[in-house]
Amino acid sequence: MEPTRADVCAAAVADAFADDGEVFASPMGTMPMLGVRLAKLTSNPDLVISDGESVFLAGVPPLFAQGDVVEGWIPFRRVFDVVAHGTRHVMMGATQVDRHGNQNISAIGPFDRPRLQLLGSRGAPGNTVNNRTSYWVPRHSPRVFVEAVDIVSGVGPRRAAEAGPAAARFNDIHRIVTDLAVLDVGGPDRTVRLRSVHPGTTVAEVQEATGFDLGDLADVPTTREPTTEELVVITEVLDPRGIRFKEVPPS
C-alpha cells in the first residue's frame, strides 16, 4: 500500500501531537482531526479528544462519525476555562503566516479598509498566548506565507515577547504542517524555518512557494511516510471514505 500525500500530511499532524501526553487536543478541520485521531490510536493514547462540539470521547470514531462512547461534556462556555488553564494543543487554519510565526484569519488588506473580510480573530489570540498552537495549511503558497501578515490574529513568539510575560509565558507555536512541508519557529530570532519536505517535493519548490526567505536550507530531511500500521488505521478505521482527499487530492 503506497501512501498518498494526504497520508503523509496526516502522519505529520499526528507527529505534532505525539509528545504532548495527556492534553486536550483541539483540531480544527479535516486533516487536523484525522492526524489527532491517528496520534490517539498510535503514538499518544493519552490525548483527550472531542467530537468538535460538546463532548469528550472515550473512543476514536471515524471522521465525522458520532462517537459511541462519551466520557465528558464540554459546553462552549467551558472551552474558555480549558483555554485559560493551558492543558490544550490546538491546530488551527491560517490564511496568512509570516516569517515571525504570526497568523492571520481576520481580513486581507489594510486594517482600516480591508479588501476581504475573513473569520475574524475568533479564538486565535487566546489560543496563542495560553496554549500550544499549531497550524494546518492545505495550500502552501506565497499568498499564505507572507513577509508580514495584514492583521495579527495568532501571536508569534517575537510579538508575544514584546508584549511581556503575560503573553509570552505560554506562547508555543509548535508546528506548521502544509501540503508540501513541515515548518516551525525554530529559526534565528524565533523565525519560521523548514523542518522537512514531503516526499515528491523539493526544498527549492517549498522556498518558491514561500513569500519570505527560509534561511539555511542545507540538509533538510524528507518528511517520514506513515508506517503500515498507520496506513491501515487511516484507510480502514479513520477515513475509509477518503474525506482527506478533499483537502489534499491524490497526485
SS3 assignment for 175-242: EEEECCEEEECCCHHHCCEEEEECCCCCHHHHHHCCCCCCCCCCCCCECCCCCHHHHHHHHHHHCCCC
Q: For residue 145, what are the contacts with CB-CB under 8 A and spacing of at least 6?
A: 96, 97, 98, 137, 192, 209, 210, 211, 212
CATH match of 5-244 with 3.40.50.720: no
Q: Categorise residue 107: left if φ over 0, alpha if ψ from -120 to 50, beta otherwise.
A: beta
pLDDT digits (tens, 9 = 90+) for 37-78: 999 999 999 999 988 778 889 899 999 887 678 888 888 778
Give the 3-state secondary structure of residue 44: coil
* Phi, psi angles (nearest 5°) of residue 213: -75, 125
Q: Tell me the per-residue pLDDT of 134-148, one tens digit each, with 9 for 90 and over.
A: 999 999 999 999 999
pLDDT string in tens for the chain (251-residue length): 799 999 999 999 999 999 999 999 999 999 999 999 999 999 999 999 988 778 889 899 999 887 678 888 888 778 778 888 779 999 999 999 999 999 999 999 988 888 888 887 888 999 999 999 999 999 999 999 999 999 999 999 999 999 999 999 999 999 999 999 999 999 999 999 999 999 999 999 999 999 999 999 999 999 999 999 999 999 999 999 999 999 999 87
Res 38: pLDDT: 98
pTM for the complete prediction? 0.95
* β-strand partners of 73: 55
**What pLDDT does residue 143 have?**
97
| Planar angle of CA 110, 141, 240, nearest 5 degrees | 120
Q: At what angle do helices 30-41 and 5-17 cross, to 10 degrees?
A: 60
Contact 8, 179 (CB under 8 A): no
Distance of CA 160 to the CA centre of its chain: 19
Question: Which grid cell sits at 16?
Answer: 505534532
**Domain ranges, ordered by start, for the chain:** 5-244
CA dist 43 and 133 (Å) reads 19
Tell me the CA distances in angstroms from 89 to 31, 67, 82, 116, 209, one per residue in order. Answer: 15, 21, 10, 29, 27
Give the Cα separation of 250 and 47 in Å (integer).
29
| Residue appearing with cell numbers 505534532 | 16
* Contacts of 242 by beta carbon, 8 Å cutoff, 6+ apart: none
- Give φ, ψ of 175 to 5 degrees: -145, 150
- Letter for the amino acid at 203? V
First-last CA distance in the chain:
15
* pLDDT at residue 116, as a whole number: 86
